[in-house]
Chain A
């Protein structure tokens, strides 16, 4: 989000405050969120893709809602209204093409009428079919889970993304040889995918509450958390949505404080550190151990201020509209061990993977009476590998994930071993633990920051005091 976009959302919250009594909040939030999907989407060199991707975001979310309807229930009148309302919004966005004064909410001009109607017809038809035709068999849910994971893999794997981009370029009559993986910059998909997987999975285990379409869509594409999370849970979100809310001075102050914190962290500290934080260019240029550490420290802090700042802003914006998004960070670099670090870094992602990967995995192996150490080793490696691949399906993210998986396992075994045996002062343990943890995490960032493992090796040798 840019400063302009953030200011717009704040202004909208004040407008909503003024007109709040006449406009129910759920419709306000749905409208802003749906429009924001189009507005925040970055431009793509593939023709009209910056219109189709947002529309796909909304369609996928709607289809996910349709398959998660409880067995035997039909969509309610309210769902129908919400469906047509959202369709109307998308159509309105597309029609700005013909109103120069309003054009355009999307980065490039939306498609012309014929492809628009065709495309929207296909999207709508698929959602309708999914929801109506053969819905609510367990296998459709499984198929949906697989479909989302499949999409995720395409987007996050460079060769596949490149291939898809080439295909789309061909479809649009553009030169496929110019395709780049970055053509498919699908705003917020990583987060959307994890929200949808959570609802599908909870529906399978029978824990998903009943949700109206408008509630579901607002949850899936809620504008403050669209671009960079946090990943909320739908039952918690729904509770906030259903609670009466009016923006008063106390809430405005709290939101303002979070926004101010976020703006300062992201746009002042984060962006300043970014000027000399480790990156592939300066990683190849730096030649002494001390300066390499400085670049790495700057990267570690920059990553935190950028991401945590974003979260502060998302939470602040959410509060302006009465939604208390979950916290994502809790002083991660001050934690005394790696396990505690991961309880304080990108918490909503780690909680998600714990709930849907680590816990079921551990439970299954526990039931088979495996001994403890191998379960923990495998469970941590698998979970952290997935945390890594969530950022992109590349070798460097896999290595980064395994680095942390091994670290967590080692800490777990050490903590088990050290229980009652070690006798040091708690302060000393906390400080030395925090220093050790921070440096372990920082060394991990070398893999995270540099896509080329050879370059990462160069930097690690330098950091260790060796020759570049």
Chain B
């Protein structure tokens, strides 16, 4: 289950945000603090999560303190499903 969520997230981030579909994202790789995802793309990511998993991610949660890698984001999604 977690793996499936992570795969979907990873595919969206590498394909739509980074535009590098061949790139592999580690589950602990720092997405926000590492500068991979900018503030604009974060909103896109939130919209994607809402459409795909039916989970609301608030505007105030789009920061590295709430989630900074695939593991944390997947856990957040699961906790709200």
Q: How far is the CB of A409 from chain B (nearest CB, A)?
A: 10
Chain B residues with Cβ under 8 A from A363's Cβ?
43, 46-47, 59
Chain B residues with Cβ under 8 A from A355's Cβ?
59-60, 62-63
Counting chain A CB atoms within 10 Å of each CB, the highest count among B19, B35, B42, B44 belongs to B35
1/0 per residue, CB under 8 A from A, across B3-23: the answer is: 000000000000000111000
1/0 per residue, CB under 8 A from A, across B59-78: the answer is: 11011010000000000000
CA distance A340 to B62 in the complex (A): 16
Q: Show the binding face of A for B, using Cβ within 8 Å.
A: 202, 205, 207, 233, 236, 326, 339-340, 343, 351, 354-356, 358-360, 362-363, 366-367, 372, 375-376, 379, 412, 415, 419-420
CA distance A366 to B62 in the complex (A): 16
Question: In the complex, are the beta carbons of A339 and B35 less than 8 A apart?
Answer: yes
A358 nearest in chain B by CB position: B39
Assign chain B's interface to a size class: 10 to 19
- Judged by DSSP, the binding face of A is helix
List 30 contacting pairs A-B, 8 Å CB cutoff, sorted by A: A236-B65, A339-B35, A339-B38, A339-B39, A340-B35, A351-B63, A354-B62, A354-B63, A355-B60, A356-B59, A356-B60, A359-B39, A359-B46, A359-B60, A360-B59, A362-B39, A362-B43, A363-B43, A363-B59, A366-B43, A366-B44, A366-B47, A367-B47, A372-B40, A375-B40, A376-B40, A412-B38, A419-B20, A420-B19, A420-B20
Inter-chain CB contacts under 8 Å: number: 56
Question: In the complex, are the beta carbons of B39 and A202 less than 8 A apart?
Answer: no
Question: In the complex, are the beta carbons of B40 and A379 less than 8 A apart?
Answer: yes
Q: How far is the CB of B20 from chain A (nearest CB, A)?
A: 7
Chain B residues with Cβ under 8 A from A415's Cβ?
38
Chain B residues with Cβ under 8 A from A358's Cβ?
39
Question: In the complex, are the beta carbons of A205 and B19 less than 8 A apart?
Answer: no
Q: How far is the CB of B80 from chain A (nearest CB, A)?
A: 13
Q: How far is the CB of B29 from chain A (nearest CB, A)?
A: 17
Is residue B58 within 8 Å, beta carbon to beta carbon, of the partner chain?
yes
Question: In the complex, are the beta carbons of B40 and A207 less than 8 A apart?
Answer: no
CA distance A340 to B64 in the complex (A): 13
CA distance A415 to B44 in the complex (A): 17
B44 nearest in chain A by CB position: A366
A340 nearest in chain B by CB position: B35
Chain A residues with Cβ under 8 A from B44's Cβ?
366
Chain A residues with Cβ under 8 A from B39's Cβ?
339, 354, 358-359, 362
CA distance A350 to B67 in the complex (A): 17
Q: Which 4 A-B pairs have the closest CB atoms?
A: A359-B59, A355-B60, A362-B43, A376-B40
Identify A419's interface contact among B19, B40, B63, CB under 8 A: B19
B35 nearest in chain A by CB position: A340
CA distance A366 to B46 in the complex (A): 11
Question: In the complex, are the beta carbons of A359 and B35 less than 8 A apart?
Answer: no
Chain A residues with Cβ under 8 A from B18's Cβ?
419
Q: How far is the CB of B17 from chain A (nearest CB, A)?
A: 10
1/0 per residue, CB under 8 A from A, across B22-60: the answer is: 000000000001010011101110110000000000111
CA distance A42 to B38 in the complex (A): 40
